[in-house]
Amino acid sequence: MSQVAAKSSAGLRDPVLAAVLANRFDGIVREMTNTLLRSARSALINTGRDFSCAITTADNRLLAVAEGLPVHTFGSHMQTASMTRLHSDLAKGDAFLHNDPYLGNTHPADQTVMVPVFAEGRHMFTACAKAHQADIGNSIPSTYHFGAKDVYEEGSVIFPCVRLERDYEMIEDVVRTGMRRIRVPEQWRGDLLAARGAARTAERRLEELCSRYGIEVIETFVEDWLDYSETRMAQAIRALPKALLSADGAHDPVQPFLPDGVPLHVSLEVDPDQARIVVDLRDNIDCVDAGLNQSEACAINNVTTGIFNCLDPTIPRNSGSFRRIEVLLRENCVVGKPRFPKSCSMATTNVGDRLVNLVQRAFASLGEGYGLAEGGVSLGAGAAVVSGEDFRRGGRPYVNQLLIGGNGGPGGPSCDGWLTYGIPVVAGLTYGDSIELDELRFPILFETVRLLPGTAGAGRYRGAPAMETTYGVRGGSMIVVIISDGQYNAPRGVLGGADGCLATTHLVYTDASEQRIANFDIVLLDGTGVLRGRTNSGGGYGDPHTRNPRAVRDDVLEGWETPERARDVYSVCLTGNAEDESLAVDVEATEKLRRADALPSSISK
């Protein structure tokens, strides 16, 4: 064995070196991530963490993504594929700017800087830094244009994989194009420089790595690592029951564009014998005349995310593990390949969030221990894009997306939902804004940011509760662009778990009267009222009657749940009270109540 560099069954020719080099590639992506996080300008990137870095191979396979957002995981390799296809003259010192959803990008707001990395004159890797911009020149002051019937109405500046640097020199024509069309251009330019800095950092490190270990060793590692990742995925799938799964759901109605919403259907074939999962998204409606269409990258990514959410979280996410997943898409389909010029303005959220949810809910139908409930999908007041002119600074314009008080996460087979979950496609990874920093930078005044007790989708493992965010404008007026979901179709519970609660957004006037705000709306805030958003809670996993009574008691004690719901929903009887901390489970009464609940009503009488 030791004399020949024989491939082990897992495909690792050198299991020690593989572990070392995998660590180095992850380290490089982390270094990119830190560089971008700390030097970016817009809150969406530096606070919201709405960006991701990745390394692909020269032949466009995804190799390393480290801490990237789930929604950005898949697709960098589709973007680099367009780079190698469109630019036959790639050279050291090049950088490209790419935000074209018809060429493999997620959606136009995610601008990606790509740097081809060379060693010994050969293109070895491409370093990709993708960041969601605060503005991209849309015809409305939001990077999410829900009403756009096509890319022209959307109005975003599309950079279809254009050269940004040659010989390490910025091509200022490209920057000028953006500066002329993008709101708050200095902020955009700063973020672009930050992304470029991150990609260049990776370039230096990758060059060093290649010269340290030699091209051949690195190339061997790449193949081994992708094979290893595939093996990990294959092993996970072999441990699943063989099944045909499906789930139906819908994005909420959106007036006036989509009065019936967007019905969605996902079917999955889990084949442990072949160690493969095939997801079919073809049985869905055509592209819609609104910004809700999935790009190809997002459609594949979001179902893949749903699958990864239900498997061992340590399986590497790269083109190796992806080999075991096939996603069937259809041309001109709302969750498939968008037909130019249909708009993909909102491809990363909304319908994308629903896809993640549908896949993880479908997995739950494998039975106890599998899958997840659905997580909250609303993007109301706390996730709105606010813009206007700041009266405190001589009318200086501002635009940014808020990231405050997101949805509750889904209950799972072993754990309650994550409270600061946000939406399915970010799954808790983004940071929340500081109230103080937001108020310092924008003429906004918050009234509440708080948890809403008694809202969690009940279950053996409950979803996380909903949150409330209320704010008004300090002076002048503020344009608030909202692109929510989750006001009509709640996040679903699974295996007996309850659904999460519905989201709402209201304009609350100073005389206390309220006006309901639609999912997609542009609200002009002035001194006459404040905006109050309540998010979805996460769906519950498993029968609430099987929840550990102590966990119910802890929830009541901490004000996450109400005593009434403890009794009515969870059948848990409590004694004492929270104020003097004497709250306790009445074990006998609880057992009795739960036994009575378990009996069919006709017998229990």
Partner 1 sequence: MQFQRYQISIDTGGTFTDAVVADSSGALHLGKALTTPQDISLGVRAAIEAAAAETGLDMQTLLSTTDLLVYGTTAATNAIVTRNVARTAMLCTEGFEDVLLFREGGKSNGHDFTQPFPLPYIARRHTFGVRERIDAEGGVRKPLDEEHLISILRTVAEREFEALAVCLLFSVVNQAHEQRIGELAAAHLPGIPVTLSHRLLPILREFRRASATAINASLRPGMARHLGSMEKSLRELGYNGSLLVSTSTGGCMEVPMLLEQPVHLVKSGPAMAPVAAREYSRRENEACDLIVCDTGGTTFDVGMIRDGELVRTRETWLGPRFSGELLCLSSVDVRSVGAGGGSIAWMDAAGLLRVGPQSAGAEPGPACYGRGGTDATVTDAALVAGYLPPEGLLGGLMSLDRDAAQTAVAKIASALGRDPAETAHAIINLAGETMIAAIVDITVAEGLDPRDCTLVAGGGAAGLNVVAIARELGCSRVLLPKTASAMSACGMQFADIVFEQAAGAFTTSSSFDRTRVENALAAVRADLAAIENSLQSGSGQSRTDFFVEARYEGQVWQLDVALRGSQLGPAEVKELVRDFHAVHERVFAVCDEQSDLEFLTWKGRLTVTLPKKKALRQPSLHTRPLPRERRAAFFDGVGLVDTAFFSGAELAAGAVIEGPAVITEPTTTIVIPPGATATLSGYGSYLIDTGVGA
Query: Which residues from 221-240 bind partner 1, rule CB under 8 A?
Result: 228, 231-232, 235
Least distance to partner 1, CB of residue 10, Å = 3
Q: Which C-beta is closer to partner 1: that of 334 or that of 425? A: 425
Q: Which C-beta is closer to partner 1: that of 226 or that of 347? A: 226
410's tokens: 């889904």
Least distance to partner 1, CB of residue 117, Å = 17
Q: Which C-beta is closer to partner 1: that of 22 or that of 574? A: 22
Which of 54, 194, 264, 456: binder of partner 1 (CB under 8 A)?
194
In whole angstroms, give the CA distance from residue 471 to residue 449. 9
Q: Give me the 378-397 binding string for partner 1, x by CB under 8 A, dash otherwise.
A: --------------x-----
Which of 8, 84, 274, 546: binder of partner 1 (CB under 8 A)?
8
| Phi-psi map region of 581: left, alpha, beta (phi>0 left; psi -120 to 50 alpha) | left
In whole angstroms, give the CA distance from residue 467 to residue 464. 9
Kindly state whether residue 479 participates in binding partner 1, applying the rule CB under 8 A. no
Q: Which C-beta is closer to partner 1: that of 428 or that of 496? A: 428
Q: Which C-beta is closer to partner 1: that of 193 or that of 522? A: 193
In whole angstroms, give the CA distance from residue 427 to residue 302. 12
Cα angle for residues 462, 468, 474 (degrees, 5° grid): 165
In whole angstroms, give the CA distance from residue 464 to residue 456. 5
How many chain residues interact with partner 1 (CB under 8 A)?
Answer: 99
Kindly state whether residue 49 participates in binding partner 1, applying the rule CB under 8 A. yes
Q: Give me the 340-379 binding string for partner 1, x by CB under 8 A, dash otherwise.
A: --------------------------------x-------
Give the N- to C-terminal CA distance of the chain in Å, as an integer.
72
Piece of the chain touching partner 1 by CB under 8 A; list 105-113, 303-311, 505-513, 525-533? 303-311
Please, which residues have CB within 8 angstroms of residue 79's CB and are 6 or more apart in sequence?
A: 98, 103, 104, 105, 112, 114, 128, 161, 297
In whole angstroms, give the CA distance from residue 345 to residue 145. 6
Site for partner 1 in 99-138 (CB under 8 A): none
In whole angstroms, give the CA distance from residue 363 to residue 299. 18
In whole angstroms, give the CA distance from residue 566 to residue 590. 10
Using only C-alpha atoms, what is the Rg of the chain?
Answer: 25
Piece of the chain touching partner 1 by CB under 8 A; list 81-89, 106-114, 172-180, 419-427? 419-427
Kindly state whether residue 559 participates in binding partner 1, applying the rule CB under 8 A. yes
Kindly state whether residue 159 participates in binding partner 1, applying the rule CB under 8 A. no
Kindly state whether residue 601 participates in binding partner 1, applying the rule CB under 8 A. no
Kindly state whether residue 575 participates in binding partner 1, applying the rule CB under 8 A. no
Which of 440, 587, 598, 599: binder of partner 1 (CB under 8 A)?
440
Kindly state whether residue 167 participates in binding partner 1, applying the rule CB under 8 A. no
In whole angstroms, give the CA distance from residue 186 to residue 139. 19
| Residue 496 φ/ψ, nearest 5 degrees | 95, -10
Piece of the chain touching partner 1 by CB under 8 A; list 214-222, 362-370, 487-495, 554-562? 554-562
Kindly state whether residue 510 participates in binding partner 1, applying the rule CB under 8 A. no
Buried b (16+ CB within 10 A) or exposed e, 409-441: bbbbbeebbbbbbbbbbbbbbbebbeeeebeee
